[in-house]
C-alpha cells in the first residue's frame, strides 16, 4: 500500500497536525509534501487562466486537496475526482484596494479591474459579493494576474487597482493598510484524488479535527505557519501575530442541497462557457464515510 500524500494548501490545519504528531498518533503512513513553498518559490508566479479548475483537471499529487466548492462541485461531476461530502471549509476573503484608492464603496468598483483566479474561489465569490451592488456588465474581473500570491504581489507593488484575496494574503493586505471594500468569504470543498484507503481518510480527518480544536483555542500559536507558503521577499514585512486563523474546517456534511444550489448558481452565471457542469449526480460525484 502506498503512503498517504498530504499537501498543505494555504491553511494552518495540516501544519498544526504535523507539528503535534496527530497524523502519526492516528497511525497514518504518510508523506508530507510542501507543494507551495516559500523556500523555492514554487508556482507563486503562475499566471493567466490557470485557476483551481485547471489544476484539478491536470491532477493533484495529494490524496486530498481543496478548492472552492463551486469548482470542486463541477470537477467531481465531470469525473476528475470525488467531492468528500463529510466536511467543508469556510475561508475569510475580500476585495482589497490601496489605502489611497478612490474606491471607497462596493459601488465604486464598477468598471475597475479586479484581479481574481480563473474558475477559482476569488472568481465566483467576487461576483457573488458584488452583484448585490453592481450589474453584471459593471463587474470587471481580470484573470491575467495569476494565482493567489501573484495577484497579492501585484497589489502590494501597486500594479493592479484591486485584488481578491483570502487566507494569508488577506491578512497581509490588512496588515499593510490595504482597504477591504467588501467581504467575499466563501465555502471550500474537499476533493479526494484516486482511491486512497478509506481508513486512511478517517485517520487524516481525525488528525485535522484535533488540529482545528487547537487553532480555535489558541490561534496565535500557529499563525507563524503562514510564512511557510509565502514568497520569501515578504517574510521580513510579515507580522503574523496580528493575523487570524484563516480557513476553518467544518465537520458537517456538504449535502445535496448545497450541491444543487451551487450548480444552479454556476449555470445562471455562465461561468462554464459551454454550460457543461458534468453529468454525475450527487451520489456518484461525492464520497462519504459517515455511514460506514
For all residues of the chain together, what is the average pLDDT?
Answer: 92
CATH 3.40.190.10 domain range(s) in the chain: 4-92+187-287, 93-185
Distance CA 114, CA 102 (A): 14
The torsion defined by the Cα of 4, 284, 83 and 152, in degrees rounded to 10, comes to 120
3-state secondary structure the chain: CCCEEECCCCCCHHHHHHHHCHHHHCCCCEEECCCCCCCCCCCCCCCCCCCHHHHHHHCCCCCEEEEEHHHHHHHHHCCCCEEEEEEEEEECEEEEECCCCCCCCHHHHCCCEEECCCCCHHHHHHHHHHCCCCCHHHCEEECCCCCHHHHHHHHHCCCCCCEEEEHHHHHHHHHCCCEEEEECCEEEEEEECCCCCHHHHHHHHHHHHHHHHHHHHCHHHCHHHHHHHCCHHHHHHCCHHHCCCCCEEECCCCCHHHHHHHHHHHHHHCCCCCCCCCCCCHHHHEECCCCC
Fold of 93-185: D-Maltodextrin-Binding Protein; domain 2 (3.40.190)
> What b/e readout covers 19-46, taking b as 16+ CB neighbours within 10 angstroms?
eeebbeebebebebebebbbeeeeebeb
> pLDDT at position 59, please?
46
Which of 37-41, 98-102, 178-182, 254-258 is predicted least confidently? 37-41
- State mean pLDDT over 203-220: 98
Res 2: pLDDT: 85
Burial grade of 176 (CB within 10 A; 0-12, 13-18, 19 or more): middle
Q: How far apart are CA 234 and CA 236, in angstroms?
A: 6
pLDDT of residue 106: 98
Calculate ∠ Cα 243-219-12, nearest 5°: 80
Q: b/e for 93-108, b at 16 or more Cβ within 10 A? A: bbbbbbeebebeebeb
pLDDT over 60 (residue 4): yes
Which CATH architecture fits 4-92+187-287? Answer: 3-Layer(aba) Sandwich (3.40)
pLDDT tens-digit profile of 231-276? 999 999 999 999 999 999 999 999 999 999 999 999 999 999 888 8
Q: Which set of grid coordinates corresponds to residue 53?
A: 479548475
Whether residue 243 contacts residue 32, with contact meaning beta carbons closer than 8 Å, is answered with no
Q: Using alpha carbons only, what angle is made at residue 44 by residues 241 and 215, rounded to the nearest 5 degrees?
A: 30
- CA atoms of 90 and 186, how far apart (whole Å): 6
Residue 100 has pLDDT above 80, yes or no: yes
Predicted local distance difference test score (pLDDT) of residue 51: 55
Q: List pLDDT tens digits, range 132-191.
A: 999 999 999 999 987 899 999 999 999 999 999 999 999 999 999 999 999 999 999 999
pLDDT at 145: 84
Predicted confidence at residue 61, as pLDDT, reads 76
pLDDT at residue 53, as a whole number: 45
- Per-residue confidence (pLDDT) for residue 218, from 0 to 100: 98
Q: Is 29's pLDDT higher than 80?
A: yes
Amino acid at each position: 500500500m502506498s503512503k498517504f500524500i498530504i499537501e498543505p494548501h494555504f491553511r494552518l490545519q495540516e501544519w498544526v497536525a504535523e507539528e503535534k504528531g496527530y497524523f502519526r498518533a492516528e497511525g497514518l503512513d504518510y508523506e508530507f509534501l510542501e507543494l507551495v513553498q516559500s523556500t523555492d518559490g514554487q508556482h507563486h508566479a503562475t499566471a493567466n487562466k490557470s485557476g483551481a479548475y485547471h489544476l484539478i483537471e491536470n491532477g493533484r499529487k495529494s490524496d486530498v486537496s481543496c478548492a472552492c466548492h463551486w469548482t470542486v462541485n463541477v470537477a467531481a461531476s465531470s469525473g476528475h475526482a470525488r467531492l468528500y461530502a463529510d466536511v467543508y471549509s469556510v475561508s475569510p476573503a475580500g476585495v482589497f484596494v490601496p489605502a489611497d484608492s478612490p474606491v471607497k464603496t462596493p459601488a465604486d468598483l464598477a468598471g475597475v479591474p479586479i484581479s481574481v483566479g480563473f474558475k477559482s474561489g476569488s472568481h465566483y465569490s467576487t461576483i457573488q459579493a458584488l452583484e448585490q451592488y453592481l450589474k453584471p456588465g459593471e463587474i470587471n474581473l481580470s484573470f491575467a494576474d495569476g494565482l493567489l500570491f501573484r495577484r497579492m504581489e501585484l497589489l502590494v507593488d501597486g500594479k493592479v487597482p484591486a485584488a481578491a484575496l483570502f487566507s494569508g494574503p488577506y491578512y497581509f493586505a490588512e496588515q499593510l493598510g490595504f482597504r477591504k471594500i467588501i467581504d467575499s468569504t466563501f465555502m471550500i470543498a474537499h476533493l479526494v484524488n484516486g482511491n486512497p484507503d478509506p481508513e486512511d481518510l478517517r485517520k487524516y480527518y481525525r488528525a485535522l479535527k484535533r488540529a482545528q480544536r487547537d487553532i480555535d483555542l489558541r490561534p496565535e500559536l500557529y499563525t507563524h505557519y503562514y510564512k511557510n507558503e509565502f514568497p520569501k521577499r515578504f517574510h521580513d514585512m510579515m507580522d503574523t501575530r496580528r493575523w487570524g486563523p484563516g480557513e476553518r474546517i467544518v465537520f458537517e456534511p456538504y449535502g445535496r442541497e448545497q450541491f444543487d444550489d451551487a450548480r444552479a448558481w454556476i449555470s445562471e452565471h455562465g461561468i462554464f462557457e459551454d454550460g457543461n457542469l458534468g453529468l454525475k449526480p450527487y451520489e456518484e460525484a461525492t464520497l462519504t464515510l459517515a455511514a460506514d
